[in-house]
Structures are given as structure tokens and as C-alpha cells.
Chains A and B, each alone.
Chain A
Amino acid sequence: SQKIEQNSEALNIQEGKTATLTCNYTNYSPAYLQWYRQDPGRGPVFLLLIRENEKEKRKERLKVTFDTTLKQSLFHITASQPADSATYLCALVRGNQFYFGTGTSLTVIP
């Protein structure tokens, strides 16, 4: 089965810096990779998706890259703000298989 790991359980960065979160997977490459944000006690909120044949996607301060050779996706938040503090989840999709990664808790320090 697919194993999905996200870098360190928790990441602390200073406001204004770029946060970089990683999502590593084993086994087969997903057709799509999605990124979600989850705040405590709430459901995940979709942010971005990237296809296996795409290298990079951007949306405002967010950037996602996808390297099928390394079996890795990177999620960047530039000019980070305290409001960006949350847990970020990657999700891998292939056919009808949908799996969330372990999540990374990001804290942006003012």
C-alpha cells in the first residue's frame, strides 16, 4: 500500500520567511497530489492540486512542486503570516485511491 510521509511533525518559522513543507511517498506515483489546510477542530480545506505531468503550480503566496523521480512534493508559503499557522496535509490520488499524508503542523511566529 502507499505510504506517505510529511516532514517533521511540527515546523516553526519566523513571520515573513518562506515555509517549505515536504510530502514523500513510496510505491506507485499518484496521478494527482493535493494539498489541504486543517485548523484545529475543523475539516480540511483544499488549497492546490498538481498533476503528475506538472512540475510546479502557484496560487498567490502558495507554490507546489512535484518530482516523480524523487517521489516528493514540496509546498511553499512565501511571506508567511501568523494566520498561516495550521496543519497542512498532502493527499495522493490515483484512480479511486485517495490517501492523506501524516500532516505537518506549521507555526508562524510574529
Chain B
Amino acid sequence: DTEVTQTPKHLVMGMTNKKSLKCEQHMGHRAMYWYKQKAKKPPELMFVYSYEKLSINESVPSRFSPECPNSSLLNLHLHALQPEDSALYLCASSQEGLAGDLGTDTQYFGPGTRLTVL
């Protein structure tokens, strides 16, 4: 199973709502990532979890809160978002992440969650 799944596929939320994005992989990977991608732009790395510990937080606003309950699951909790946060949110996983060599550690991406903030 080389699949990374993400739910929901689409999400519309108001600025006062609290919602969560979910990501799951069953490849035994020990690193998981959240990316944000705006239209016609490349993905931007937000967070990296390596062995269930937050390893990288790329100066992401606190209204985005990641959580890694176990090595197969990754959540992104959303609260008090702004309309400019509307984007495609991608999850990825890799074998070792920062515990290994990031350069050779192939990332497998999920299909993404299309988020719209009204």
C-alpha cells in the first residue's frame, strides 16, 4: 500500500469555525509533512514530524496546529483562519525524514484537501 489518504477532500469554513484535516499512511513511514499550496504556486512546507515529534515548523501562524497521534496519522487543526488561508493542503510521508537523509528520502503525497475560508 503506497497510498497517503487525506480527509476531507473539500472543506468550507467560516473564520470563527474550528475544523481538522486528517492524513493517514500505512507504509510504515516515520516522517510526515504538511504543505500549503496556493493556485499556480509550488507547495510550501509547513510542518515536519519525524518519529512522532515535531521537527520543523516553518514559522506557521498559531491558527494552524499540527498533531501526530501515532506514526500513521497526522492531523492539522484549524482555528480562526483568514480568507487568505484558502489553499490546497497536502500531506506527505517518507521513510525516515530528518532521522535519515532528507535528500534521498522520497516523499509520497496525498491528494490534498481543498480548503476555502469564507
Q: Which residues of A contact B (CB under 8 A)?
A: 9, 30-32, 34, 41-46, 49, 51, 89, 93-96, 98-103
**Cβ 8 A contact of A96, one of B40, B90, B98:** B98
**Cβ 8 A contact of A49, one of B56, B91, B103, B109:** B103
In the complex the two chains form, is B109's CB within 8 Å of A96's CB? no
In the complex the two chains form, is B43's CB within 8 Å of A100's CB? yes
Q: Which residues of B contact A (CB under 8 A)?
A: 4, 40-45, 48, 55-56, 88, 90-92, 98, 102-104, 106-112, 114
In the complex the two chains form, is A43's CB within 8 Å of B103's CB? no
In the complex the two chains form, is A96's CB within 8 Å of B102's CB? yes
Q: How far is the CA of A59 from the CA of B6 in the complex (A)?
A: 29
In the complex the two chains form, is B92's CB within 8 Å of A43's CB? yes
In the complex the two chains form, is B56's CB within 8 Å of A96's CB? yes
Shortest Cβ distance from residue A31 to the other chain B in the assembled complex, whole angstroms: 5
Shortest Cβ distance from residue B118 to the other chain A in the assembled complex, whole angstroms: 21
In the complex the two chains form, is A46's CB within 8 Å of B107's CB? yes
